[in-house]
Amino acid sequence: MLNGIDDEEKWLAEGIAGIQHNAFYMHQALDSNNLREALKYSAQMLSELRTSKLSPHKYYELYMRAFDELRKLEMFFKEDSKHGVSVIDLYELVQHAGNILPRLYLLCTVGSVYIKSKEAPAKEVLKDLVEMCRGVQHPIRGLFLRSYLAQISRDKLPDIGSEYEGDADTVMDAVEFVLQNFTEMNKLWVQMQHQGPGRFREKQEKERSELRDLVGKNLHVLSQIEGVDLGIYKETVLTRVLEQVVNCKDDLAQYYLMDCIIQVFPDEYHLQTLETLLGACPQLQPTVDVKTVLSRLMDRLSNYAASSEDVLPEFLQVEAFTKLSNAIGKVIEAQVDMPAVGAITLYVSLLTFTLCVHPDRLDYVDQVLGACVKKLYNIPKLEDSRAMKQVVALLSAPLEKYNDIVTALTLSNYPRVMDHLDNGTNKVMAMVIIQSIMKNNTFISTAHKVEVLFELIKGLIKDKDGADVDELDEEDFKDEQNSVARLIHMLYNDEPEEMLKIICIVRKHTMAGGPKRLPFTVPSLVFSALRLVWRLQGQEGDIVGEEVPATPKKIFQLLTQIIEALSAVPSPELALRLYLQCAEAANGCDLELVAYEFFTQAFVLYEEEIADSKAQVTAIHLIIGTLQRMNVFGVENRDTMTHKTTGYSARLLKKPDQCRAVYACSHLFWVDDQDGIKDGERVLLCLKRALRIANAAQQMANVARGSSGPVILFVEILNKYLYFFEKGNQQITGAAIQDLIELINTEMQSDSATPDTASDAFLASTLRYIQFQKQKGGVMGEKFEAIKF
Amino acid sequence: MVLVLAIGDLHIPHRAPDLPPKFKSMLVPGKIQHIICTGNLCIKEVHDYFKSLCPDLHITRGEYDEDYRYPENKTLTIGQFKLGICHGHQVIPWGDLDSLAMLQRQLDVDILVTGHTHQFKAYKHEGGVVINPGSATGAYSSFTYDVNPSFVLMDIDGLRVVVYVYELIDGEVKVDKIDFKKTPTTRSAH
């Protein structure tokens, strides 16, 4: 192979040398106005172009050298004063050149001068030249010769407004000339593939490719001819070009030329000739990448539509969408072996076009999706990842365009397309949908739409048959479920009946999610329902409707069932918190029995399921805090609850925890608002119990560690004494507080005391507080005077 | 001038999908020196988001937080001020200012930042200042029906702290400010 390249270099060098050599003598002849000699040497020079040894790339280099020299010759030809021969005679003279190739180059060169002289109509000369060039049938040589003809004739076409237009010369003649040259060039180009042995096929393809612009140039020229209006384009240009494209039956040429037509001629023309253009597609060779051709056409048309609003009616008038849609259908039908990714890419292009040109025609959009579904129907599950990516692109396009998932939800074929994705990609798409909702802050406001939405994201909501949740990466799974949890808050309607329907649908779907998903989805659903309860709280009476109206009671029934599901996980701590939230909400609705039931559930969980001591401490504080705010309980029920609660508090594992929980319980007997319970005695009982526990803690510390225990507990209890003292609990006297302060001081100063800056600081700040209250004067000041230290 | 963001009770994803967009556009990395978070984020994503705003992040545990390792309460010193953080579900009665004052005495801090009720409060008492930044997402709360999203920005400058509260009311961000000064002789802020 290397040898071959070396040889080519050698031949090229020889060729160039030959040209230079003859050019030198040609220049001498030109300088001395010697026409005969000039012709002789130029013919010799042009003989170098007769070589068959060079590849197109190298031939081009040789050709360019010759081209440059021919310009000088042309200048000489023009000056008939210099050589004394008329251009008509010159035209005759050059035909005596020995070999046909030099002869024709010279003829073209003279032809250029001839046309310029206007001694004959341009069309006559052009016709003659384009016919004569048939004499060279060698592909490469012929192509370059005709390319030369095209180059020199470019500015001499009888276009409208050009100097070469006349009665005999019209734009049609110009068109005819270019078309003929184009047709012949294409034939030569196609012929190249039949040359040479098969093993050089790849090299040949590459070489052919290098020459394609020579052929395509003609189309450029056609597009530049002013006189070619839509009519001429439609009747003559497109018809003839397509004829050649289809008839040449060469896939390389067909692909290139179709694309060339699309890129070179105005979009307006394409719209008006859409049927013709599309009609050619099924006639192309099956190996032609027609989907790329169609995609590029649709892209151009999309951009055209985007450029100006005035253009849009035209699209409707020519029924662009229908034609494109049908054409694509035909192509897919015809090319049975087209892989899935090819078909889907086509639909993606069509959808992009539709969204760009007809965004308001949701029926069109749905149609495209439907066509894609039909194609996918024959493929049970797509295996190809590229095809998958295209399906995702197909589904994402409407989301991005409409910025509003609600519109996408109305497309009936949307979920059907999603069904064809594999599990992994389906979930990716579901996440894309959720993110689109979150990003655009869209609210989904009807039960029906929620149902459709959940159908779309069902891959995230529950396990597909056979799929193994354990296989999923934990982080990814968490992300997914948190996204679903967040999504639930975007499902909202002001109207309570509709909102309740929405909650029921969400419940139906999330309950099927299994124990792994419930801890994520249940809280969101619960709080969404509790929000609805808040809204209904104020409303009186029944709402008129066919079904049972939305009432807090009904919602609480739902809530009980929803939270119960957490036992399957199990998630007792979460369930306890949610039960307490519901109890508070029931309190707000004045539903004593419902609230009682929720508390019962919470207590049961506490007793039976929450064993971890830290968790117990938090749980008991939540219970105390919630219970303290309950005002719906009658005396008996309240007593039962507080009794249980103080009991749990006293039975916590660690003494300090016990102490704190018990003194927290003191607040259960004192509620600050006007109707609230204010049982001073029981408050004091709690505080005294807390003191006993603190004492016990001290003794234990002495025994177990030989040092004093947490003095700070006493300071905390002291603060509680002060709290109730201030609130007016008669059972708490100044003397009692004084005693407590003394006790603390004793403990702190005892031999076994370990220095504890926290306790010291707390005591100091507490004493400062007492001092501050004393100095307040008035009622408070008097009260605090009772405390002496 | 030291800027401290006090924020909490977002309850993402249990009660709210995300921070309000208007808040998100205001909270830009690099402007804030410290973040104090009362708890109930609830997920790691929110933690990471705060971390991206400011690396000096202090969080205490709310009862719904995913991460169990956040402390029950925390104290830190910024400039001349001692600050304490506690979510507040541990202080009974919930939202009771006198009980919170007790916690403040116990932690021995000038400023106590606490949450749980989702109601903005800036309360001055003998022992110092109690600040509740409210809920940054306006999350559901049994304390109040309509929760406006809110957060607090404290500007600590010497012995003075200016508390800016940002509230989202009817789609507009409203700002209010309260001044607190600490006298150097007494240990508490007035």
Residue in the structure block whose two tokens are 């509003």: A404
pLDDT, tens digit, 9 for 90 and up, residues A413-443: 998 888 888 888 888 899 999 999 998 888 9
Q: Which two tokens stand for residue A460?
A: 């995230």
What is the complex's ipTM, to 2 decimals? 0.95
pLDDT bin (cut points 50, 70, 90) of residue A515 is: very high
Q: Is residue B107 part of a domain?
A: yes
Measure the CA–CA gap between A387 and A343, rounded to whole angstroms.
9
In a domain, B6, yes or no: yes
Cα angle A617, A620, A622 (rounded to 5 degrees) comes to 110
Model pTM?
0.81
Residue environment code for A685-723, b if the CB has 16+ CB neighbours within 10 A, otherwise e: bbbebbbebbbebbeebeeeeeebbbbbbbbbbbbbbbb
CA torsion A188-A189-A192-A198 (nearest 10°) is -150
In a domain, B139, yes or no: yes
The verdict on A624 touching B (C-beta cutoff 8 Å) is yes
Smallest CA–CA distance, residue B89 to chain A, in Å, is: 7
Contact call for B126 and A624, based on CB within 8 A: no
> Which B positions 85-114 lie with beta carbon below 8 A of chain A?
89-90, 92-94, 96, 98-99, 101-102, 105-106, 108
Cβ contacts of residue B166 below 8 Å, gap of 6+? B23, B26, B150, B151, B152, B153, B173, B174, B175
User: Is B188 among the domain residues?
Assistant: no
Q: Residue A52 has what DSSP assignment?
A: S
Q: Using alpha carbons, select from B132, B134, B32, B26 the residue that is nearest to residue B78.
A: B32
- Using the predicted structure, report yes or no on whether residue B185 has a pLDDT greater than 60: no
Under an 8 A CB cutoff, do A527 and B140 touch? yes
pLDDT at A543 over 60: no
Closest CA to B131 of B93, B90, B165: B165
Angle at which helices A447-456 and A423-440 cross, to 10° = 140
Interchain CB contact of A667 with B (< 8 Å): yes
List the single residue in A with minimal CA-CA distance to B95. A625
**Which residues, in sequence order, are CB contacts of A47 under 8 Å at separation 6+?**
A18, A99, A101, A102
pLDDT tier at A306, thresholds 50, 70, 90: confident
Domain-embedded: residue B85: yes
Mean pLDDT of A203-220: 88
Q: What is the pLDDT at residue A546?
A: 47
Q: How many angstroms separate the CA atoms of A670 and A721, rounded?
A: 13
What is the number of CB-based contacts under 8 A between chain A and chain B?
A: 101
pLDDT digits (tens, 9 = 90+) for A394-415: 999 998 888 878 888 889 999 8
Which of A324, A279, A158 has the alpha carbon at shortest distance from A226? A158
Lowest mean pLDDT among A332-336, A594-598, A632-636: A332-336
CA distance to partner chain B, nearest, from residue A765 (Å) = 6
B48 in reach of chain A (CB within 8 A): no
Classify residue A465 as left (phi > 0), alpha (psi -120 to 50) or beta.
beta
Question: Taking 70 as the threshold, does the pLDDT of residue A262 lie above it?
Answer: yes
Chain B residue nearest residue A536, CA to CA: B145
Average pLDDT over residues A314-320: 87
How far apart are alpha carbons A485 and A476 in whole angstroms? 14
Give the residue-averaged pLDDT of B108-130. 93
Could you tell me how many residues make up chain B?
190
Q: What is the predicted pLDDT for the residue at A785?
A: 84
CB within 8 Å: B17 and A588: no
Which of A421, A404, A416 is closest to A369 using CA atoms? A416
User: What does DSSP assign to residue A169?
Assistant: -
Per-residue pLDDT tens over the stretch A25-79: 999 999 999 899 999 999 999 999 998 888 888 999 999 999 999 999 999 998 8
| Residue numbers of the domain that contains B104 | 2-181
* pLDDT tens figures, A701-739: 888 877 777 789 999 999 999 999 999 898 999 899 999
Tell whether the model's pLDDT for residue A465 goes beyond 80. no
Determine the pLDDT at residue A121.
87
Number of structural domains (chain B) is 1
Contact indicator for A169, A126 with CB cutoff of 8 Å: no
pLDDT (0 to 100) of residue B189: 44
- Quick one: pLDDT at residue A196? 60
Most confident of A303-317, A547-561, A724-738, A745-759: A724-738
Interface of B with A in 147-186 (CB under 8 A): none
The answer to whether position B28 is within a domain reads yes
Cβ contact A490–B142 (<8 Å): no
| Mean pLDDT of the A184-205 span | 78
Of A692, A685, A691, residue with least CA distance to A729: A685
For residue B58, what is the domain's CATH number?
3.60.21.10
Mean pLDDT, chain A, rounded, equals 89
Average pLDDT over residues B45-63: 96
DSSP tag of A309: G
Q: What percent of chain A has a predicted confidence (pLDDT) above 90?
A: 59
Confidence of residue B190 (pLDDT cuts 50, 70, 90): very low
For A530, nearest residue in chain B (alpha carbons): B140
| Residue B186 in domain | no
CA A505, CA A509: separation in Å to the nearest integer? 6
Q: What is d(CA A253, CA A244) in angstroms, rounded to the nearest whole number?
A: 10
pLDDT band at A234 (very low <50, low <70, confident <90, very high): very high
The answer for A676, left when phi > 0, alpha when psi is -120 to 50, beta otherwise, is beta
- Closest Cα of chain A to B39: distance in Å? 14
Query: Crossing angle of helices A340-357/A362-377, nearest 10°?
Result: 180
B23-33: average pLDDT: 94
For residue A576, what pLDDT band results from cuts at 50, 70 and 90?
Answer: very high
Cα A502 to Cα A548: distance, rounded to the nearest angstrom: 15
From the CA of B81, how many Å to the nearest CA of chain A? 16
CB atoms within 10 A of CB A377: 10
**Residue A545 burial class via C-beta count within 10 angstroms: exposed 0-12, middle 13-18, buried 19 and up:** exposed
Tens-place pLDDT, residues A267-291: 999 999 999 999 998 888 888 888 8
Asked which of A576-585, A589-598, B139-148 is least confident by mean pLDDT, the reply is B139-148
| Whole-number pLDDT of residue A308 | 84
Output the average pLDDT for chain B: 93
Kindly state whether residue B187 falls inside one of the protein's structural domains: no
Residues 41-80 of A with CB under 8 A from B: none
**A357-398 tens-digit pLDDT:** 888 889 999 999 999 888 888 776 667 788 888 888 999 999
The confidence band for A550, taking pLDDT boundaries of 50, 70 and 90, is: confident
Q: What is the mean pLDDT of residues A133-152?
A: 93
B43 inside 8 A of chain A by CB? yes
How many CB atoms neighbour CB A99 within 10 A?
Answer: 13
